């Protein structure tokens, strides 16, 4: 509907409209995890440690209350395996109850929980046993799924088994010292470690089967970091090879899923020589990525093509900026792209903005992606104008541009 200068697009019934976080990035003091260990090494390559992060381990009710009051109907958050099983086989019943309380509370305030079971960080013991590089560890992940059964319950919620397996297969490689550096985005991502990718794909497949067996109403998927690969003259072969390795093999693994999570922020362009740096005139965000809000619509189209129509949930999209008006402009354009893809008939079930909070961006706090500002010493939360703007659309179940 076009009302003067404003275009309103009504969303399909049941559309999930919310925001996303991950456990390690917001909870704080995730002591038994491998990432905490890397951060705190004397010669850590990371400039900042997560420390108390957003203190959401204690303040999760406040986070959910805020999101619900802002108008959202969904919240993607993570459960942290390193808290639930801090030593191999030693399960904390109290932590299982903690996350179960979170799921129950989300429902009680009108937020549909979208649960991430693994988001980059693993228990340190798991990594010491070879992590995702060890095929025998798949059984340990399946044991973890059994342990968290009370959190998943018998409802019809959505779970993301593993967040961005394609980035995880690069990160794990980089952190074990075997591969490139995690921050090498400017020149494109390093190649995935194929042995790790194979284990992740098998683990996801096994996890889906286990979860569908034990929680038949649950919607199971995983979320893939879309690189929105493009090419100019002579760059086609480079582009397609890159995309197959960093993205498509993981998208194909979603063909049997109930949904696939799309995560898109920017694009990667190739010429005959490799990755083409954006021209110096182009705006870059605080992560150094090209400002390219069209990425979302294009990622959704590509995902749909590769999976052959697995329903899509946008599990992450957003911008690291200190200029909240720029966040609104970026998101307006991203949602226009998403609406375009939906108009073509692509089955999109929801949009979850990254991120609910200014959080720990895997080594630094400076790239602020949040709709809600978090004061670093008091942890006071202040919704930004973008939070109210996006929340209002969520309440009305429309995209407005
Ligand atoms: C990850 C998040 C991260 C975000 C922005 C995604 O790669 O899932 O953990 O904070 O992008 O970099």
The rounded Å distance from CA 21 to ligand 1 centre is 9
Q: Report how far residue 335's alpha carbon sits from residue 351's, in angstroms, rounded to the nearest whole number.
A: 9
Q: Which helix (H) or strand (E) holds 26?
A: helix 23-26
Q: What is the pLDDT of residue 183?
A: 41
Mutate to test the pocket of ligand 1, among 246, 354, 364 (most ligand atoms within 8 A of CB): 354
pLDDT < 50: residue spans in the chain: 177-186
pLDDT in the model for residue 227: 95
- Per-residue confidence (pLDDT) for residue 181, from 0 to 100: 40
Q: In 3-state terms, what secondary structure has residue 371?
A: coil
In sequence order, what are the beta bridge partners of 6? 3
pLDDT at 1: 58
What pLDDT was estimated at residue 159?
Answer: 98
Instruction: Report the pLDDT value the prediction gives residue 188, as an integer from 0 to 100.
Output: 84
CA-to-CA separations, 134 to 35, 195, 342, in angstroms, rounded: 18, 9, 40
Task: Report pLDDT digits (tens) over 209-257.
Answer: 999 999 999 999 999 999 999 999 999 999 999 999 999 999 999 999 9
Round to whole Å and give the CA distance between 401 and 331.
Answer: 10
Distance CA 318, CA 20 (A): 10
DSSP 3-state helix, strand, coil percentages of the chain (rounded to 5)? Answer: 40, 20, 40
- C-alpha dist (Å) from residue 368 to 210, 264, 290: 37, 16, 16
Ligand 1 atom, smallest distance to 163 CA: 8
Which pLDDT does position 186 carry in this prediction? 46
The whole-number pLDDT of residue 172 equals 80
Known active-site residue 164: yes
* 264-318 pLDDT per residue, tens: 999 999 999 999 999 999 999 999 999 999 999 999 999 999 999 999 999 999 9
pTM beyond 0.85, yes or no: yes
pLDDT at 174: 66
- Ligand 1 binding site (Cβ under 6 Å of any ligand atom): 22, 25, 163-164, 167, 225, 263, 316, 354, 361, 369
The 8-class DSSP code of residue 312 comes to E
Between the CA of 211 and the centroid of ligand 1 the distance, in Å, is 25
């Amino acid at each position: 509907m076009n009302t003067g200068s404003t275009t309103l697009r009504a969303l399909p019934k049941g559309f999930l409209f919310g925001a996303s976080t991950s456990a390690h990035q917001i909870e704080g003091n995730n002591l038994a995890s491998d990432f905490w260990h890397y951060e705190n090494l004397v010669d850590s390559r990371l400039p900042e440690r997560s420390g108390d992060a957003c203190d959401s381990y204690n303040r999760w009710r406040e986070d959910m209350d805020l999101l619900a009051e802002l108008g959202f109907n969904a919240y993607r958050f993570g459960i942290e395996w390193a808290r639930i099983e801090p030593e191999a086989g030693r399960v904390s019943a109290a932590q299982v109850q903690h996350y179960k309380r979170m799921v129950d509370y989300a429902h009680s305030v009108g937020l549909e929980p979208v649960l991430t079971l693994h988001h980059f960080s693993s228990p340190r013991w798991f990594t010491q046993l070879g992590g995702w590089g060890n095929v025998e560890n798949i059984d340990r992940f399946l044991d973890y799924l059994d342990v968290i059964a009370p959190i998943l319950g018998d409802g019809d919620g959505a779970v993301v088994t593993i967040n961005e397996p394609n980035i995880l297969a690069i990160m794990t490689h980089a952190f074990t010292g075997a591969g490139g550096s995690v921050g090498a985005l400017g020149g494109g991502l390093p190649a995935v470690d194929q042995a790790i990718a194979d284990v992740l794909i098998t683990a996801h497949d096994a996890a889906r089967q286990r979860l569908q067996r034990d929680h038949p109403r649950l919607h199971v998927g995983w979320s893939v970091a879309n690189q929105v690969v493009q090419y100019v003259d002579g760059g086609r072969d480079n582009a397609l090879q890159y995309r197959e390795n960093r993205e498509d093999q993981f998208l194909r693994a979603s063909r049997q899923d109930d949904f696939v999570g799309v995560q898109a922020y920017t694009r990667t362009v190739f010429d005959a020589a490799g990755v083409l740096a954006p021209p110096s005139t182009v705006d870059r965000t605080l992560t150094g990525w090209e400002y390219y809000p069209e990425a979302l619509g294009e990622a959704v189209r590509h995902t749909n093509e590769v999976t052959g129509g697995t329903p899509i949930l946008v599990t992450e999209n957003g911008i690291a900026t200190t200029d909240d008006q720029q966040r609104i402009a970026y998101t307006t354009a991203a949602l226009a792209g998403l609406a375009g893809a939906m108009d073509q008939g692509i089955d999109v079930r929801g949009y979850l903005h990254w991120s609910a909070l200014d959080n720990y961006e895997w080594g630094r706090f400076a790239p602020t992606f949040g709709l809600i500002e978090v004061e670093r010493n008091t942890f006071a939360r202040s919704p930004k104008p973008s939070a109210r703007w996006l929340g209002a659309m969520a309440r009305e179940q429309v995209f407005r541009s």
